[in-house]
Amino acid sequence: MLFLCTGNSARSQIAEALTERLGGGVVKAHSAGSHPKSLHPNAVRVLKARGIDISRARSKHLDEFADEKFDYVITLCDRVREVCPEFPDHPGLIHWSIPDPAREPGEHRQTYPAFARIADELATRIGFLLELIEHAGS
C-alpha cells in the first residue's frame, strides 16, 4: 500500500505508520510526496501519543516508488492525485481528500489539535479499508 500527499511531511507519514500498526504487521505500507518537505514535528508527536515512533522517518519523493508494485495507491489530497503516475500492474486507486494539518496557521503548539484530528480520521478510514480488503480476500 502506498500513501501519497504533496509534502510527505504529515498526512501520508501518519497514514503509513497507522496502516503498519492497524494491519498487525501483515500489511506493508509506504508513503511519499510530489514535493517532499521535512517531517513535521507534530506528525511525530501525534503518533508518539499513540505509541508509534516515526522520529527516524524521512520524506520521500513519489518517483522513488515509480517502478514498485502495490496492491493499492491512496492519494490523500487533490494536488497529488493530479500528478499521480501510473504504477506497474494497475493497483487499486483510492482518493481521500484529507486537509493538510501542516497548513494550519499558528505555532506547533496551536496546530497540534489539527494533527490529532487528521490522525483520528486516517485511523478510522484505514480501519475500514483494511476490513474491506480482508473481506474481499475471504
Compute φ and ψ for 64, nearest 5 degrees: -60, -25
What positions carry a catalytic annotation? 5, 77, 84
Q: CA-CA distance, 23 to 65, in Å (whole number)?
A: 21
Compute φ and ψ for 32, nearest 5 degrees: -160, 175
Nearest to 33 by CA among 57, 55, 69: 57
Q: Find where cell 515512533 sits.
A: 53
Where are the extended beta strands (E) located within 11-103?
30-33, 72-75, 92-95
Q: Residues 67, 40: contact at Cβ < 8 Å? A: no
Helices (H) and strands (E) in the chain, counts: 4, 4
